[in-house]
Amino acid sequence: MAIPFYTGRMTDWIVSEDDPSAFVQAIWAMSLITIGSAVTEFVCDFLYNGTMNRIHTRIQSQVFSSVLRQEIAFFHASRTGDITSRVTANTEAMSEALSEKLNWLMWYGVRGVFLFGLMVRVSPRLALFTAVGLPLILLVPKLSGKLHQSLAQRVQESLAKANEVAVETFQAMATVRSFANEEGAAQRYAQRLQDTYRLNQGEAAAYAASMWTNSLSGLALKVGILYYGGRLVTAGGVSTGDLVTFVLYEMQFTTAVEGLLSTYPSVQKAVGSSEKIFEYMERTPQISPPGTLAPPDLHGHLQVQDVWFAYPGRDDAPALKGVSLELRPGEVTALVGPSGAGKSALVALLERFYEPQRGRLLLDGRDLREYEHQYLHRQVALVSQRPVLFARSLHENIAYGLGECSRQEVTGAARRANAHGFIDRLSQGYDTDVGETGGQISGGQRQGVAIARALLRDPKVLILDDATSALDTESQLWVEREVYEARAGRSVLLIAHRLSAVERADRIVVLEAGQVREQGPHAELLARRGCYWRLLQTQLNGAEGGGSGEDGGA
């Protein structure tokens, strides 16, 4: 910014030739200032870009951590593609805009303030004339910035919808292929992209219009300054050198203002993208925060006391209605009932995926909410009917969530789940990558790995939610032997649709329409000829009528 000042001084010397040394001094001053400016600009850019990279990494990590803290209902209500888009695409868009545009915005802003101060010093009247025309230029970015902000939100939402289609299609690729709907999926994705394209066109038109208006208003201001400045020189109000200095300052000032006008909408666009990000970062989970209780000795006595529960948004249709039951250490409690009886809802409450509207869930006499999060889920292990494995080795899947576990510990858990045999036959053994969601191994093998994953934790409460449905007969008998013979010191909740798997349970609880209808040993419930007896007869009749092999086994 000192260059125009010395340029003006040189102009006055050329006109008057009064002080020859002024020319040499101006050359040296401009050279030193230019070198210093280059050094400081390099340091500034280096520090700024390094800072922005750290901010981007921190924000993306915080968004991901914030999402992980949300309750399970949040993931059921939100689409996977939308969540992924906010964590990745929105964060990336915001960081890219801020890394480049915010840098320019601050640089142009500070530069404009100092340039205008120098303009006032050279000629207050010309600076006042410039200031009068300035609001006309500054009015445009505010209007275009709001338009850009709203369009940016709509573009990001449109991209999220397109991502949802892609994620949904890739996750269900086998179904898409089996129904030969590849073309339909591609058309649906293309349609969503067309919606995004139309929004991008509108955004581009708004940006072009604002740039054209900015350029036109800037040109009008330059012409006005030259005309008014020429009259001041003629009247002797300013020298020729001062006019040259002012015009050069005004050109840099206009460039700074135009830079502000061009970068401000981009920063507004980044703000639009960041709103979705900070929604996640500031969202409070709709479930009580975990406590700090982590006793060294846990018995595993679990009590469900008069629990009422309805899924979010379905308050008029409670899944559980005053359910009470007890899981005692050293006992196997079986939970049976028709589809929709509330078995999955009860499991979700025991895992603290949700909280009951009424009633209490106690572990060793203390509310589940009082226990520390990692401790609780290490002591209460769940194996579901369709367990999900991660795209990593079998060893890492079995040791998932436990940090470093030795191969001996992992192998021991796999043996107890009867999964060691098939793992050992694989070419890479426990180092075999199972692929995304465990798609490289069969459903029964996934269940075996999931059971081994739960047993490795040595939990005090083990929940098997139809966890042996895909196992072969030998593996199922092996797991049942592990459940029944190694139950000392452990409470087991066994949920099964094949009633033959629950006959040996110490207590069978029959759940129907969200209520406990019966409970007791197998023989006692058969003698009552109530709900349990009817369920068993339904399975037997289904088998006699040509039902599934599963029911025939029951």
Question: What is the CATH number that goes with domain 323-553?
Answer: 3.40.50.300
Q: Residue 551 has what pLDDT? A: 36
Q: What whole-number distance in Å separates Cα of residue 428 and Cα of residue 487?
A: 33
CA-wise closest residue to 231 among 148, 123, 156: 123
Give the pair of three-digit tokens for residue 501: 């798997």
Between CA 502 and CA 541 the distance in angstroms is 18
Strands 507-512 and 515-520: antiparallel
According to the 3-state scheme, what is the secondary structure of 391-439?
A: CCEHHHHHCCCCCCCCHHHHHHHHHHCCCHHHHHHCCCHHHCECCHHHC
Residue 122 CA to residue 247 CA, distance in Å, equals 10
pLDDT for 552 equals: 34
pLDDT of residue 92: 79
- Residues 509, 335: Cα–Cα separation, whole Å: 5
Instruction: Find out whether 291 and 369 touch, Cβ atoms under 8 Å.
Output: yes
Q: Between vectors from CA 486 to CA 485 and to CA 488, what angle results, nearest 5°?
A: 105
Averages of pLDDT over each 10 residues, the chain, 554 residues: 75 65 76 87 86 84 87 81 79 76 85 90 87 72 63 78 82 73 85 86 74 72 80 80 84 82 76 79 85 91 94 86 92 90 91 91 93 91 87 90 88 90 89 84 88 90 86 81 80 86 89 91 90 85 47 33
- Nearest CA-CA partner of 120 in 108, 134, 138, 106: 134
> What is the DSSP secondary-structure string of 467-493?
TTTTS-HHHHHHHHHHHHHT-TT-EEE
CA distance 454 to 293: 21
Q: Residue 16: its pLDDT value, please?
A: 62
- Nearest CA to 378 among 353, 400, 405? 400
DSSP annotation string for 204-232:
HHHHHHHHHHHHHHHHHHHHHHHHHHHHH
Cα(56)–Cα(263) distance, integer angstroms: 19
- C-alpha to C-alpha distance for 186 and 166, rounded to whole angstroms: 9
The answer to whether 134 and 261 have CB atoms below 8 angstroms apart is: no
CB 101 within 8 A of CB 261: no
**Residue 198, amino acid:** R
- The CA-CA-CA angle for residues 47, 52, 57, to 5°, reads 130
- Contact present, 268 and 141 (Cβ < 8 Å): no
| Strand ranges of the sheet holding 320-327, from the earlier edge strand across to the other edge | 320-327, 302-309, 358-363, 366-367
CB atoms within 10 A of CB 401: 10
First to last CA, the chain: 88
371 vs 389: CA distance, rounded Å: 26
Query: What are the residue ranges spanned by the domains of the chain?
Result: 3-282, 323-553
Residue 328 CB neighbour total at 10 angstroms? 16
Assess contact for 394 and 423: CB atoms under 8 A: yes
Residue bearing tokens 């888009």: 85
Give 324's contacts (C-beta < 8 A, 6+ positions apart).
Answer: 304, 305, 306, 307, 359, 516
| Beta-carbon count within 10 A of 495 CB | 24
Instruction: Give kind and range of the element (H or E) at residue 106.
Output: helix 103-122
d(CA 100, CA 267): 9
- CATH of region 3-282, choose from 3.40.50.1780, 1.10.3720.10, 1.10.357.10, 1.20.1560.10: 1.20.1560.10
The pTM of the full predicted model, rounded to 2 decimals, is: 0.67
Nearest to 260 by CA among 113, 100, 146, 105: 105
Residue type, 281: M
Residue 364 backbone zone (phi > 0: left; psi -120 to 50: alpha; other: beta): left
Closest Cα partner for 51 from 39, 59, 40, 62? Answer: 59
User: What pLDDT does residue 365 have?
Assistant: 92
